[in-house]
A and B are shown apart, each in its own frame.
Chain A
C-alpha cells in the first residue's frame, strides 16, 4: 500500500535528480549517474571480485595440502609462479596477498557500502538520488580503475606482490627483496586510487544522509541500515586519507629512494641496502590506523542489514532501537583508537599495549548490546524463515563466534602466543569476512525483488545457505585449533615442521581444504540462482512482498528512474513499526499516517 504524498513540494530547481532518464545504452548503463545503476555496478564488480578472491583462496588451500602437486593449466597461465604447474612458495604468498586485497577492498568495502548503500540509502531516506550524482559515478569508475590496476599485477613480470594485504615493509618497500617487477607498485597504485574513490563516496554518503532526508524522517527514525551506511561513510572519510598518505610514502620508498619505512643497515641478498633511518613500525601505525576502522567499514553495513531483516521477519520492532544507534556510533568511534592491538608484538611499550587492550575490550560492550538486541528482536516473534532471515541469523551466529576469539586476541599476553597463527586467520575470517558476506547475502536476497522485480528461487537459496553456513564453520572452526598448536600463518608448507606433523595438522588442513572446495562449489548454486532469477525469475511486481515498513517498499519494483515518480514521500513514524495493536495490518510503513494504519477513528497510540 503506497502512501506517497502528491508532488506539491517538488521544486525542480532544488532537486538533485535534474537529469532526465537517459535512453542510450552507454549513458543508461555504463556512465550512469543514477544511484541505482551505480549500486548495481558496484555489486557486479564485487561479484566478479569475490569469485577471483575465492579462486585465489582455493589455490592457497591446494598448495597447503599438496605442495608438490602439479596443475598443468596453472602452469600455462603462470609459467614463473607455477613452473610445470607446481606452485612455488613465492607464488603461494602472492596468491595469499591478492586474496586478502581483493576480498577486503574490492568485495567487503564495495558491495555493502557502494552496492547496497548506493542503491538503497537514497530510497530509504526518500530522496531522488545521492547528493552529488556525478561524483557518485566518478567514485565507481575510480574504483573500477583501481580494480584493473590490481588485476594487472597478476600479469606483469615478477607477478603479484607477496607482502600480504597489509603490505608490511621492508618486504613491500624493497624491490631487491622480492622477484623483480612492478607488482607491488601496481598494488600500491591500486590502493591509492581506491582510497580516492572511497573518500569521494564517503563524502557523498554523508551529505546525502544529512541533507536529503524526506520530511518527517528525523535521524532517529532512520532505518538502521541508513545509520550503518552513514557511520561507515564517516569511518571511510577519516580512515582512507591516512592509508592514502601511507601508500604514497611507501611508493616513494620503493621508487624514489626515500627512507620512510626502511631502516638503515639492512642487508638483503648479502648487499647493504642504500636506505637510512626509517621505521617499518611507522607503516604499521599508519596502516592499522586505517586498517582497524576498515574492518568496521566491512562489517557495519552487515549489522544494519541484519537488524533490518531480523525485525522484518520476526514481525517485531527492533529491540532497543536507540541503543542500536548508539552502539553503531560507539563501535565506529572506538574503532579509531584500537589500532595498536594489531601490533602487540611490534615491541610497543607494555603500557601502550595495556591502553590499546582496554580500549579493545570496550568494543565488546556495544557489540554485546547489538547481539543482545538482535536476540531480543527475535525473542517471541512470529519468525518467518525466509532466506534473508536465515542469512541474518547466520550473521549473528558468525558474529558471536568470531567476536569471542577477538576477546582472546585483544589481550597482549595471549596475543603474544596467538599472533600470526591460524587462530587469527580463523578470527578475522569469521567476523570480518564471512559474517560480512552473510550480511551481503541477507541484503541481496532481501532486496532482490525490489532491485529486479523478480523473486530468487527460495529453495535454492536455502540449500545455498545451509551448505555455506556449515561449510564456513568447517573451514574456520578447525583453524582455531591449528592456531593453538601454534601453527603459523602464511607458511607455504609445513611438511618439515615436526611438531605440527605429530599433532594432526596435515589431516586438519586436508579437512579444511575439502570443506573449502565444497563451500566454493556451493557458491555456484548462488551464482546460478542470481543470474537465472534476474533473467527468468518469477515475476514480482508487488511493491511490498515481505510486508516491510521502509520507504523502498512503497514504490514499484524495480523503482522508477527518480525513485518516487515525481512525488515526495512524507515520513510519519519510525522504521520498525511491527505488531501494532488495533491496526489494520500487523505493520505500518514509514509513509503511513495514523489514519492509514488504524483507520477511522484514530486511537490515541501512534506506535512511534
Chain B
C-alpha cells in the first residue's frame, strides 16, 4: 500500500554538501512487509533480502556439489587453507564496521562522513580481495592449480564466486561516490546506502561460511 503522504506534506529538500538529500518520513501504520520506517529504504532492503536467497542457492549448489564430489572417488586431496585467509577474514570483518559507520552517517544526513566511510569500506574491501589473491598465489606456489585436484577446484571456485559478489558491492560503493560528487539531487541515496550495507554484511557472513567450509569440510 502506498505511503500516505500528500505532496503538501512532502518533506523539504535539504541540501547537504555535495548531493541533495530527502529525509523521508516514516510510513504511518505500515503493514507486515513495511513495518514503519522509510518506504524506499524498505523496498531496497527487501530487494537485497530477496537477492540473498538467490545468491545463497548458488552457493548451496556449489556446496552440495562439493560434498558429493568429495564422496565420489578417491582422488580428493584436501587442501590446507593459506594462513593469509585468516588475515583477510579480519580485514573483511573490519569493513563491516566501516560500512555500518557509513550507513549511520547517511542516516544522520552527513554527506562528508558518508563519503569518507564509504570510500574507506571500498578500500578495505579491495584489501580483502588482495588477500584472496595472495591466497591463490600461495596455492599456486604449492603447485595447486584450478584443475590439479577437485578440492583445489572448489577452493578457487568458492573464493572466486564470493569475490565476484564482493566486487559488485565495491562497484555500488563507487556508484555512491560518483553520485555524491554529482550535483543532481539523489532522492534514493539513503536507500542505496542501506541496501549496500545490508548486502555487505551478508557477504561478510557468507565468507565466514565459506571459510568454515574450506577449513572443516576437507
Contact = CB atoms under 8 A, between A and B. Distances in A.
B146 A256 contact: yes
Nearest to A283: B65
A282 B39 contact: no
A454 B127 CA distance: 59
A249 B5 contact: no
Interface string B29-67: 000011000011011001100110111111111101100
B2 A9 contact: yes
Contact of A278 (B24, B43, B50, B72): B72
A11 B10 contact: yes
Interface in A1-60: 8-15, 18
A214 B24 CA distance: 20
B218 interface: no
Interface residues of B, number: 46
A252 B145 CA distance: 13
A573 to B, nearest CB: 16
A259 interface: yes
Contacts of A264: 73, 75
Contacts of B56: 241
B151 to A, nearest CB: 11
A252 B50 contact: no
A256 B148 CA distance: 10
Given A11-B7, A277-B74, A282 B68 contact: yes
Contacts of A14: 2-3, 5, 24, 39-40
Contacts of A132: 47
B3 to A, nearest CB: 5
B24 A259 contact: no
Contact of A260 (B46, B53, B64, B65): B65
Nearest to B5: A11
Contacts of A216: 1
Interface in A526-575: 568
B50 A211 contact: no
B22 interface: yes
A131 interface: yes
A568 B7 CA distance: 13
Given A11-B6, A14-B40, A260-B65, A203 B50 contact: yes
Nearest to A210: B33
B213 to A, nearest CB: 14
Contacts of B137: none
B16 interface: no
Contacts of A8: 6
A207 interface: yes
A321 interface: no
B1 A241 contact: no
A448 interface: no
Contacts of B62: 245
Contacts of A292: none
Nearest to B70: A277
A568 B2 CA distance: 8
Contacts of B82: none
A484 to B, nearest CB: 35
B139 to A, nearest CB: 15
A467 interface: no
Contacts of A462: none
A423 interface: no
A321 B22 CA distance: 42
Contacts of A286: 61, 64-65
A20 to B, nearest CB: 14
B90 interface: no
Contacts of B53: 237-238
Given A211-B34, A213-B1, A260 B69 contact: yes
Given A9-B4, A202-B54, A256-B146, A246 B61 contact: yes
A285 B1 contact: no
Contacts, number: 143
Given A207-B43, A211-B43, A10 B7 contact: yes
A9 B5 contact: yes
Contact of B47 (A13, A131, A282): A131
A279 B68 contact: yes
A339 interface: no
Nearest to B73: A277
Interface residues of A, number: 51
Interface string B76-88: 1000000000000
A252 B153 contact: yes
B153 A214 contact: no
A237 to B, nearest CB: 5
B182 interface: no
A276 interface: yes
B7 A277 contact: no
Contact of A241 (B3, B55, B72, B157): B55
Contacts of A474: none
Interface string A197-240: 00100111011001101111100000000000000000001111
A199 B54 contact: yes
Contacts of A252: 146-147, 153, 157
Contact of B54 (A11, A203, A257, A277): A203
Contact of B57 (A131, A241, A278): A241
A242 interface: yes
A244 interface: yes
B11 interface: yes
A215 B1 CA distance: 5
B39 A214 contact: no
A289 interface: yes
A258 interface: yes
Contacts of A11: 2-3, 5-7, 10
Quick one: which of B2, B4, B6, B11 has the most chain A CB within 10 A? B2
B150 interface: yes
A273 interface: no
Interface in A247-277: 248-249, 252, 256-260, 264, 276-277
A279 B34 contact: no
A256 B54 contact: no
Contacts of A10: 2, 6-7
Given A207-B47, A245-B58, A277 B150 contact: yes
B1 A249 contact: no
Nearest to A126: B2
A258 B146 contact: yes
B187 interface: yes
B19 to A, nearest CB: 15
Interface string B148-182: 00100100010000000000000000000000000
A237 B50 CA distance: 8
Contacts of B146: 252, 256-258
Interface in A466-513: none
A211 B33 contact: yes
Contacts of A241: 54-58, 60-61
7 contacts: A9-B6, A11-B5, A14-B3, A18-B187, A241-B60, A245-B62, A286-B65
Given A12-B7, A207-B47, A258-B150, 8 more contacts: A10-B6, A14-B39, A215-B2, A241-B60, A249-B157, A256-B146, A277-B72, A282-B72
In the A-B complex, the 5 residue pairs with the smallest Cβ-Cβ separation, listed nearest first, are: A241-B57, A245-B61, A277-B73, A241-B58, A11-B5
